[in-house]
Every structure is written in C-alpha cells, then in structure tokens.
C-alpha cells in the first residue's frame, strides 16, 4: 500500500480549520509541524507564523479528486486569514512502513479528562494511581482521541462513570450497558469498558472501522465486554444505560427517535460531532422526544450535548 503525505502550509491562525477539514477528509489524524528552529540554541525556539498541516491519504484512484478538494478548500477559506498566500499542497508518496513510522513521531500519550490516558502502543508511560490507559495505534478509522469531538465524549463518559472518587459501576448497579453508535476506532467503547461498563455494543456503518475497532478492543483486553458490528441502529433491539453518538449533526437529528428508543429510562444520551453553530439545530431536533438536556460542553468549534431520558 502506498500513501500520499499531503502538506498544507498556512498561517498559524488557519491551522485548526485546515486540520479539522483534513481529519474529516482523510478519516484519520493529522500532524502539525509547529516549531520554527532558527539556531542551534533551544532558547531561540519560537512559534512560527506559518505551520504545515500534514494528512495521509491512500494513493489510490480517489487521490487526485481529494487533492483537488483540498486545493479548493484552501483557495476558498484562506483569503479570510491575514497573511494568507495560496500555496499548492505538497504531495509526497510514502510506502506503508514509512507511513506507519511517520505517524509514530507525532503520537504521544495524551491525557483526556482527569484519569484517561490514550497511549500509542510503542510509547511507554508511567500511570498515576487511578489512571485508565487505552492503548491505541492510529489506524485508518476515526478516533485517535485527539479530535475535539472524541475528547468531548470521553470527558462526558468520565462524568458519567466517575463519581465520588471512584468508577461507579464496579460498586454500583448502573451505568452498566453502553451503545456506541459510529464506533470508528472503538475508542469510546474501549473507554466505557475500562471505566466499568459491563456490556458495550459498538456499531459502525463502515466495516473497515469495525475491523480496526476489533483489533483495538482485543489489544485493550476488552473483548469479553465489547461487541462490534455493522447492524443499522434502526434494527437494534434492547435498551442501554448510556448511548453515545459521535456523528454529524444532521445524522444525529435524523436518528433522534432510534437513538432515544435504545436508551433505558433515566439513561444518558451523549451527542457529539456537532459544530457549535449547529447546536440549536440538534436541540430542536431532540425537543419533545422525552429527553432533558443535562449539559452542553464545547471544545474548539465543536459541541457535545448530554441528555437524560425522562421515563
């Protein structure tokens, strides 16, 4: 397999927008070269006013169209940023082994919330007491923990499971069952299992994501509690204590009824993948559905809404 490394050099203020766009397009993470070194002395390390955001795309028949999409994105959105100069994205081809190693230099253990650490398998990490470690290699499925929408879900899960100084489910009866709609890399399902969920079901419409999630679940020793599959949400049966869905606002609203149907009375629904400007659209879509909005959290331009099912 050959990969294309696509490098976009943009003003620092545009980095977040370009990174979000490339994450969506590539279905995976990006790297950002953010330091400009101009002498041998570390004292002179300073932030550059330009940064290079790199994404990795399979070098297949779709590559040219994707590069055209990236070029059009830069040309359309760049002029809104001061000091923008249009630079054609630079492309270099990498073999699978090089691609894998390229990723490695950018993925470091990341703490999310207070106790969760996402750790690439090749890195060593000394956990603090009470830390939960998720071992995750960046694959082609979305969900390395670094994206704001994933982070917001993980923080919401910690709020649900960690109470009064302990992970509740090991002591208490609920919450015990979790449905993760759009599981991607399986990161939320694994986190739910580590936090104390007894039975977790992860669904994804993309069979490749389910495959990657399966490997990650096994790697984290959670296969006894996590089931994965491509069953459409509308065909799912049963009810869960927690339902997570990190998919886009339009899809969340489209699926409002089946999402709530899968939630047991008093259960918590975590909706993520919502651009903050689309928050009201989602709130309206979930109004009069027998759920009460508990919290709204935001990170970058993303929002996460948590609801409780009333009866």
By CB under 6 A, name the binding residues for ligand SAM: 142-143, 149-150, 153, 181-184, 187-188, 203-206, 209, 233, 246-247, 251, 273
In the complex, least distance from residue 144 CB atom to ligand SAM, rounded to whole angstroms: 8
In the complex, least distance from residue 5 CB atom to ligand SAM, rounded to whole angstroms: 22
Contact 243/286 with Cβ under 8 angstroms?
Answer: no
Residue number, 131 or 251, with CB nearest to ligand SAM: 251
| CA gap 35, 78 in Å, rounded | 21
- Annotated ligand binding at 234? The verdict is no
Element containing residue 163 per DSSP (H, E): strand 162-163
Residue number, 4 or 253, with CB nearest to ligand SAM: 253
Site of tokens 């799912």: 236
Structure tokens that stand for 202 in this block: 């992860």
Give Cα 289 distance to the centre of its chain: 27
| CA gap 176, 242 in Å, rounded | 8
Q: Where are the alpha helices (DSSP H) in 27-174?
A: 63-77, 96-106, 148-161
Residue number, 89 or 158, with CB nearest to ligand SAM: 158
Residue number, 201 or 247, with CB nearest to ligand SAM: 247
Contact 228/210 with Cβ under 8 angstroms?
Answer: yes
Residue number, 232 or 265, with CB nearest to ligand SAM: 232
- Annotated ligand binding at 150? The verdict is yes
In the complex, least distance from residue 59 CB atom to ligand SAM, rounded to whole angstroms: 22
Contact 18/8 with Cβ under 8 angstroms?
Answer: yes
Contact 116/159 with Cβ under 8 angstroms?
Answer: no
Residue number, 98 or 251, with CB nearest to ligand SAM: 251
In the complex, least distance from residue 149 CB atom to ligand SAM, rounded to whole angstroms: 6
| CA gap 245, 259 in Å, rounded | 8
- Annotated ligand binding at 139? The verdict is no
In the complex, least distance from residue 215 CB atom to ligand SAM, rounded to whole angstroms: 15
Residue number, 12 or 205, with CB nearest to ligand SAM: 205
Contact 30/53 with Cβ under 8 angstroms?
Answer: yes
| CA gap 184, 282 in Å, rounded | 22
In the complex, least distance from residue 233 CB atom to ligand SAM, rounded to whole angstroms: 5
β-sheet bridge partners, residue 234: none
In the complex, least distance from residue 247 CB atom to ligand SAM, rounded to whole angstroms: 4
- Annotated ligand binding at 144? The verdict is no
Q: How far is CA 303 from CA 23, 34, 218, 244, 277, in A?
A: 17, 26, 30, 14, 9
Residue ranges for the known binding site for S-adenosyl-L-methionine are 150, 182, 204, 246
Residue ranges for the known binding site are 150, 182, 204, 246
């Amino acid at each position: 397999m050959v990969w294309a490394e696509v490098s976009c050099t943009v003003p620092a203020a545009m980095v977040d927008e370009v990174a979000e766009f490339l994450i969506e397009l590539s279905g995976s993470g990006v790297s950002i070269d953010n330091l400009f070194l101009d002498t041998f002395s570390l004292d002179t390390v300073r932030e550059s006013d330009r940064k290079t955001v790199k994404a990795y795309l399979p070098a297949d028949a779709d590559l040219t169209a994707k590069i055209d999409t990236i070029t059009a994105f830069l040309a359309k959105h760049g002029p809104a940023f001061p000091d923008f100069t249009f630079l054609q994205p630079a492309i270099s081809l990498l073999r699978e082994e090089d691609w894998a190693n390229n990723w490695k230099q950018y993925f470091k253990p990341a703490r999310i919330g207070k106790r969760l650490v996402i750790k690439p398998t090749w890195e060593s990490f000394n956990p603090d007491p009470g830390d939960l470690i998720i071992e995750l290699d960046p694959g082609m499925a979305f969900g390395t923990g670094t994206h704001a929408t994933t982070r917001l879900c993980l923080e919401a899960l910690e709020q649900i499971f960690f109470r009064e100084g302990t992970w509740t489910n090991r002591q208490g009866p609920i919450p015990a069952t979790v449905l993760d709609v759009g599981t991607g890399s399986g990161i939320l399902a694994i986190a739910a299992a580590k936090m104390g969920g007894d039975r977790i079901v992860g669904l994804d419409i993309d069979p490749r994501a389910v495959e990657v999630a399966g490997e990650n679940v096994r790697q984290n020793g959670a296969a006894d509690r996590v089931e994965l599959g491509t069953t459409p949400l509308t065909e799912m049966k049963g009810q869960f204590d927690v339902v997570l869905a990190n998919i886009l606002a339009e899809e969340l609203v489209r699926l409002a009824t089946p999402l709530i149907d899968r939630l047991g009375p008093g259960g918590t629904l975590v909706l993520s993948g919502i651009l903050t400007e689309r928050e009201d659209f989602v709130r309206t879509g979930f109004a009069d559905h027998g759920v009460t909005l508990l919290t709204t959290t935001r990170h970058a331009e993303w929002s996460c809404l948590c609801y409780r099912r009333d009866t």
